[in-house]
Amino acid sequence: MTSDPAEVTVGIHDLTFATTSLCLTHEELARHTGAPVAKYHHGIGQTAMSIPTEDEDIVTLAADAAAPIIERHGSDRVRTLLFATETGIDQSKAAGVYVHSLLGLPPHIRVVELKQACYGGTAALQLACALVRSDPTQKVLVLASDIARYDLDSPGEATQGAAAAAMLITAAPGLVELSTPCGLFTRDIMDFWRPNYRTTALVDGKASLDAYLDAVDGTWLDYRAHGGLPFEKLRTVCYHQPFTRIAHKAHRRLERAAGHTSTARAIDAAIAPTTTYNQVIGNSYTASMYLALAALLDSDTDLGGDDIGFFSYGSGSVAEFFTGTVNPTYRAHLRVDAHQAHIARRTAISYAAYRELHTRALPTDGTPHEVARRTDGRHRLAGIRDHQRQYRAVHP
């Protein structure tokens, strides 16, 4: 007997993330670009960016993020694993299948990869919620994992980063109950893209900023037209953060669309708690908005029972605005110490070491290639053989 989907509360029961073993500070970057460090710290709101070792990629990051969820909750009721990324490693095989193997998940699980730039994580989340509403006994594991890479010496270089977010979607969620309706907005625009033959993204910075802010208007108007909450009911909003200052710009744009006006100080107070992780990790594409949520929940702000908004944007472009209600007992489910440890364990590297890593490439001709262990994480890329990536769990 199935439940009426309208009566089932669904949302995020657990949320955690992982990032890389290395980082490049923007002080170090500024010393070599000649830009004033304030351009990074205040202009874009970034202080460091996560840099992967050669044996870290979207699979190892996702597996590191997902492992604590499986350890806490088990896998017996997980029926679906959805992997969102725009840093795909194979045109056919879902990256989530590698994670499924690394975590030792049972075979009776569907695994699918989703792509639409940085919006892919939200597409996976909404699909997961629909699956749970149709069968509240099941759980869905959502993974959003990306490595943001731009050309050396390009305008986008300072916004690079890497992380994976993992979410367990269930009925009666412990963290955030997600609500309907949602506001949608799609427009065909070349603001950001990465052809298959490139390992770094291309971006038209001004067009991308304009498209992002236009999508704030478009999603909000659609959200309200479908009966969504008025702006004054929202405690704050988690925005996609390719760089954290854009969240402040977006919140002012949202206020304008909703007919409200606040001071810059009030906007900063509302948005700052969502930026602490992205500020030191950099852009993580599909994971970015969910790192903003993790930062907000981990903050000292008491959110129990509050309604919060979410603005998800993926270049090209697809965007969505939706809301959720924070569970009054959400603090019992948080992983603050683990999140802070992930960030603190990174090793800061020199600009020269960063450039060397950036230009290093894995072979594409099938030549056997062993990858030395460099990661501090729990899973690693061990090498490539016959065009097949080889992954291993790391044992102390």
Considering 86, 157, 255, 320, which one is annotated as catalytic? 86
pLDDT of residue 395: 73
CATH number of the domain residue 249 falls in: 3.40.47.10
- Does residue 202 share a domain with residue 311? yes
Separation CA 230–CA 161 (nearest Å) = 34
pLDDT of residue 366: 87
Annotated catalytic, 86?
yes
The residue out of 301, 329, 357 marking a domain boundary is 329
Annotated catalytic, 226?
no
Separation CA 105–CA 78 (nearest Å) = 9
- Does residue 256 share a domain with residue 347? no
Separation CA 288–CA 243 (nearest Å) = 9
Q: Report how far apart, in Å, the C-alpha atoms of 208 and of each of 18, 114, 174, 190 are.
A: 27, 22, 35, 8
- Does residue 49 share a domain with residue 198? no
- Does residue 87 share a domain with residue 66? yes
pLDDT of residue 1: 39
pLDDT of residue 3: 54
Q: 293-304 burial string, b = 16+ CB within 10 Å, else e?
A: bbbbbbeebebe
How many domains does the chain divide into?
2
- Please report which residue ranges of 109-197 form alpha helices under DSSP H: 120-134
One-letter amino acid of 61: L
The residue out of 303, 329, 355 marking a domain boundary is 329
Domain membership of residue 224 as a residue range: 178-329
- Does residue 298 share a domain with residue 182? yes
Residue in 309, 125, 129, 317 with CA at minimum distance from that of residue 231: 309
Separation CA 187–CA 207 (nearest Å) = 12
- Is this model's pTM higher than 0.95 or not? yes
pLDDT of residue 4: 64
- Does residue 373 share a domain with residue 352? yes
Q: What is the pLDDT of residues 172-195, one digit of tens each?
A: 999 999 999 999 999 999 999 999
Contacts of 122 (CB under 8 A, 6+ apart): 289, 310, 312, 320, 322
Considering 26, 240, 248, 358, which one is annotated as catalytic? 240
- Which helix (H) or strand (E) segment holds residue 183: the answer is strand 183-186
pLDDT of residue 6: 63
- Does residue 358 share a domain with residue 293? no
What distance lies between CA 267 and its chain's CA centroid? 22
The residue out of 296, 329, 362 marking a domain boundary is 329
On the 0-12 / 13-18 / 19+ scale of CB atoms within 10 A, 276 is buried
Q: Strand, coil or helix: what is 318?
A: strand
Backbone Cα Rg of the chain: 20
DSSP letter at 243 equals S
Considering 28, 56, 100, 118, which one is annotated as catalytic? 118
Annotated catalytic, 255?
no
Residue ranges in the chain modelled with pLDDT below 70: 1-6, 396
What distance lies between CA 375 and its chain's CA centroid? 20
- Does residue 349 share a domain with residue 317? no
DSSP letter at 41 equals I
- Does residue 373 share a domain with residue 319? no
- Tokens encoding 132: 């749970």
Tell me how crowded residue 358 is: count the other CB atoms within 10 A of its CB.
18
* Contact by Cβ (8 Å): 371, 54: yes
- Does residue 164 share a domain with residue 192? no
- Tokens encoding 286: 């599909």
- Does residue 270 share a domain with residue 366? no
- Does residue 312 share a domain with residue 206? yes
